Structures are given as structure tokens and as C-alpha cells.
Amino acid sequence: MGQVRRVLREPLGAFGLALVVLVVVMSIFAGLLTQYDPAGLSPRDRFLDPSTTHLLGTDQLGRDLFSRVLFGGRIALYVALVSTAISLAAGIVLGLIAGYGPRWLDNVMILLFDALKSFPTVMLALALVTLTGPSLTAVMVVVIIVNVPGYARIIRTQTIALKSSEFVMAAQSMGASTARILRVHILPNVIGPIVILASMDIPVVIAIEAGMSFLGLGVRPPTPSWGSILNDGFANIRETPWIAIAGGLPIIVTTLGFTFLGETLRDIFDPRLKGR
């Protein structure tokens, strides 16, 4: 609770937290906030402007855009949270092994990290989708492959700096096992900054999911996704601008929320970075 109060005392942190809570709550309770089926077709109601009946208007197939945005938020948050959690867990394990293990193993794993990091995200997505077809799983695999090397490198660097510290050497002299040293003495000292970094990467993951869906490489229609809504908006921009606005606005709001919250958390846990 003390950390929450410190976040709320910072204007940007409070604003970011409010945006994050708004997006999460509206996504979770999407079924209660709208009466329309996000995939329900109504050709007679196509390209309607925003009104009390359709808060964000309708698209080229007469589907309610507000309901599609809400249910699309579920997809975006699911991909972002699950893939980031898996990437973080894998990065922590691999980083600890690389940093604390023998030199030859560290060199091999660094080579592996660099090889994975060298693949352009779009080319990796195209290759994976060509093999497996467009799907939510393909999006998550791309995100995990892209994020794991970065997390692992950070954990590796911090582990190397800590393994020669006095408290780690004391634990070694007392006969503590490698697993216990990593779990009890090193992990608690390296996990804080990486968790904050992961929270700031969530909007990046949402943008990757939206970009892949925009290109037709993500979730398949008629499943609502912010990226597919944007695609429909650009395809029908001459008829109405509301579709593109409905697809782009939640991405902007979510990005601002997680970015402001992540930067505030970073300043709280590492005051040396504040103002940089």
C-alpha cells in the first residue's frame, strides 16, 4: 500500500494508473458494458456515426465499434500479460544460468541471445505465420522470442556483478548450493528492475499484437482486435473516420497508461534515474 500511495502522489503516476485501471476494468467487464455482439452483423446499420445507441458508431458490416473495442481489449491484455510473464520467467532463468555459470556456457548463451535478437520482428512474424498460419499463439511466440534475449541479458549482467559480492561468497563458504544462492541471495536483488522494465514493455507488446493483426498475421476475423479495427478503418477512411479512431484511441490510451506508470515505478525504486 505504501508504494501505491507513492505512485498516487506523482501526477503522471496517478494518471497512468487511472488509465491502466480503466482499460483493464472495461476489458474484464466488456460483457456488462455493452449489449451488442462484437461479431454481430447488421448491414443496414453500416457506417453509423457515434450516438447514444452506438457510442463509437458502426463499421462497414454494421458491427458496433464500442463492443469490438472492449472485447479487443481482452485480446490485447491477454497477449501482453501472458507473453510478457512467460518472457520474463524465461529471461530470468536463462540470465541467472548465463551469469552464474561457467565462462563457456555464458559465451554460448550470449551467442544464442544475439542470434535471436538479430531477427527483425516483422520477418520473424512472417516466417512463423507462413509455417503455422495466423493465430493468437503465433503472436505470443513472436513476442516471447523477441523479448527473452533482452531480459536475459539484463539479468545476466546483474548476476555477474553480484556473484562476487561478499554475501554471495559467504553463502558459498557455508556450503550453500547453487540453486539456493540463486534463489535466495541473487534473485531478490535482480528481479525489481526487470519487473519494472517488463511493465514498460507491455504497451510495446500490445503494439506488436495490433501491428500483426493489422497486417493479417494475428487473430483471425471476426475475432475483434484493435489492429483489425485499424485495418478496417484505413480501408474505409473515405466513408467515415470513426473506425480508425476507434482502433487507434485504445492503443494510445493503453500505451500512455503503462508508460507513465512504469516510469513512475522506475523513479520510485531507482531515484537516481529520476529526471533523466
Angle between helices 136-162 and 187-214 (to 10 degrees): 150
CA atoms within a 13 Å half-sphere pointing along the CA-CB vector of 231: 19
Q: In terms of DSSP H, where are the helices of 121-223?
A: 121-132, 136-162, 166-173, 178-180, 187-214
Phi, psi angle pair for 44, to nearest 5°: -70, -20
Q: pLDDT tens digit string along 121-179?
A: 777 877 887 788 778 888 888 889 888 998 999 999 888 888 878 887 888 788 778 78
**34 near 64, Cβ under 8 Å?**
yes
Count the neighbouring beta carbons within 10 Å of the beta carbon of residue 223. 16
Contacts of residue 23, Cβ cutoff 8 Å, sequence gap at least 6: 73, 77, 250, 253, 254, 257
- According to DSSP, the residues that pair with 58 across neighbouring strands are 64
| Calpha distance 131→114 (Å, rounded) | 23
Domains of the chain from N-terminus onward: 2-273 (1.10.3720.10)
Please check the confidence at residue 252 and state whether its pLDDT lies above 80. Answer: yes
Rg (CA), the chain: 22
Please check the confidence at residue 229 and state whether its pLDDT lies above 60. Answer: yes
pTM over 0.75? The answer is yes
Please check the confidence at residue 67 and state whether its pLDDT lies above 70. Answer: yes
**64 near 242, Cβ under 8 Å?**
no
The percent helix, strand, coil of the chain (3-state, each to 5) is 75, 0, 25
